[in-house]
Amino acid sequence: MEFNNLLLEISDSIAVITLNRPKQLNALNKETIAELHQALEGLKNDAEVRVVILTGSGEKSFVAGADIKEFANFSVTEGTELAALGQTSLFDYIENYSKPVIAAVNGFALGGGLELAMSAHIRIASNNAKLGLPEVTLGLIPGYGGTQRLAQLVGKGRALEMILSAQMIKADRAYEMGLVNHLTELDELLPTAKGLAAKIAQNSPNAIHSAIKCVNAGYTDGMNGFKVEIEEFGKCFGTEDFTEGTTAFLEKRKPQF
């Protein structure tokens, strides 16, 4: 796969997707969103890939937000369609992706950039990261799931404070709030992400897919997470991964998934 705005590297069961618009601080535009969807769609059925890492090129920015020039003159209808298309094609798509997605956040993660990181299953930030949702300074609100995912991750009060004040927070504060899972030095960001990805990649892909589905169900209106867990637990018994995992345990060896 070739892209204008992304770099893709696959090694040791891990795919690293790097947003590569350094002059624009890796801002999300329509083309980049489409390319991210295309890249993830292509990796979905690649048996070699077990985990995906998202990061930004350079040291300054993960993703510094959306490309405001693209929607500065939009109407109500166009704005609604922009949010709906973005959520469906990328942000919801990542949240419900069958393989774990880790966001390795370097530098600015603002607006759509923070929303992208929040749609990932796990977030790791370098100590130079700055995170925020500044949309209200533009007369807007977050439109790619930010109002919902931020509240789920840090609680209603903290989410409202960040959104309404439009203030950026530093990486250590994001870690304290539970917005990011791990905090690292900048030069350790990708190695840390890859180390975690390698641990995940050793485990059952089928079970991992089921676990993601179950956790997400608990945060989805109209879905009973406990019921989904029962169903997915039962399905695991019909997989080759279950046979291999239990056999390996009984034979006192490491499973080969």
**pLDDT tens, 54-74?**
999 998 999 999 889 899 999
Does residue 1 belong to any structural domain of this protein? no
Same domain, 127 and 214: no
Same domain, 39 and 129: yes
Same domain, 181 and 160: yes
How far are the Cα atoms of 15, 68, 76, 86, 256 from residue 4, in angstroms, in the given order?
18, 19, 30, 19, 37
Same domain, 60 and 179: yes
Name the helix (H) or strand (E) containing 111.
none
Helices (H), the chain: 30-44, 76-86, 92-95, 112-119, 146-154, 156-165, 171-177, 189-201, 205-217, 225-236, 240-250
Note down pLDDT in tens along the chain; length 257 residues: 789 999 999 999 999 999 999 999 999 999 999 999 999 999 999 999 999 999 999 989 999 998 898 999 999 999 999 999 999 999 999 999 999 999 999 999 999 999 999 999 999 999 999 999 999 999 999 999 999 999 999 999 999 999 999 999 999 999 999 999 999 999 999 999 999 999 999 999 999 999 999 999 999 999 999 999 999 999 999 999 999 999 999 999 999 99
Same domain, 138 and 233: no
Structural domain total, the chain = 2
Catalytic residue among 81, 115, 161, 229: 115
Which of 161, 182, 201 terminates a domain? The answer is 201
Catalytic residue among 2, 9, 41, 135: 135
Among this protein's residues, is 115 annotated catalytic?
yes
Per-residue pLDDT of 100-143, as tens digits, reads 999 999 999 999 999 999 999 999 999 999 999 999 999 999 99
DSSP type of residue 130: E
Same domain, 182 and 158: yes
What angle (nearest 5°) sits at the alpha carbon of residue 61, between those of residues 59 and 66? 165
Same domain, 49 and 144: yes
Does residue 159 belong to any structural domain of this protein? yes
Does residue 220 belong to any structural domain of this protein? yes
Say which CATH number the domain at 101 has. Answer: 3.90.226.10
Which of 175, 201, 227 terminates a domain? The answer is 201
The dihedral of CA 31, 171, 97, 77: what is its sign? negative
Same domain, 213 and 197: no
Does residue 255 belong to any structural domain of this protein? no
Does residue 142 belong to any structural domain of this protein? yes
Does residue 163 belong to any structural domain of this protein? yes
Same domain, 227 and 105: no
| pTM (2 d.p.) | 0.96
Does residue 66 belong to any structural domain of this protein? yes
Does residue 256 belong to any structural domain of this protein? no
Same domain, 216 and 190: no
Largest CA distance in the chain: 65
The pLDDT, as a whole number, for residue 153 is 98
The pLDDT, as a whole number, for residue 67 is 86
Same domain, 81 and 166: yes
Domain of 212, in residue numbers = 205-250
Same domain, 100 and 220: no
Among this protein's residues, is 135 annotated catalytic?
yes
